[in-house]
Amino acid sequence: MLSPDPDAVLVLLRDLALALPETDEVVSHGIPAFRAAGKMFAYFRHDHHGDGTTVVCVKTSGREVAEMLIEADPAVFSKPAYLWPSGWVGMSLVDCDWEHVAGRLATSWRLAAPKRLVREL
């Protein structure tokens, strides 16, 4: 599902992502992306290639975990184009639970961040 106000959704996502240590925002492949100490951990997508969704793409610990998330809640999780084979999932940002989004962002951040940074947290 598409958000009627993707700019407002991006502001909320940006606030959550940039609250994590040593995080910055860049444009990657024409879309907002977030890095942990230089390593990508989230992408914001709105109607990416006409897919009709507004999502944040986040890392999981592997494809098995990604498949489990999608199977458990297909209304929330999806297979993001190009990223899916590497164990990423799309998480809907329409009528979402922002605490759940924050938790998934934090998990993705931990998977991308250097071990020293994770230890400090």
What residue ranges do the domains of the chain occupy? 6-120
* 86 closest CA partner among 37, 50, 119, 43: 43
Would the pLDDT of 119 be above 90?
no
- Fold of the domain built from segment(s) 6-120: Aspartate Aminotransferase, domain 1 (3.90.1150)
What pLDDT is attached to residue 121?
72
Contacts of 96 (CB under 8 A, 6+ apart): 76
Residue 53: what pLDDT? 97
Region 106-120: mean pLDDT is: 92
Summary mean pLDDT of the chain: 96
Q: How far apart are the C-alpha atoms of 119 and 26, rounded to whole Å?
A: 25
pLDDT at 118: 86
Q: Rounded mean pLDDT of 103-114?
A: 97
20 torsion bin: left (phi>0), alpha (psi -120 to 50), beta (else): beta
Within a 10 A sphere around the Cβ of 121, how many other Cβ atoms?
Answer: 11
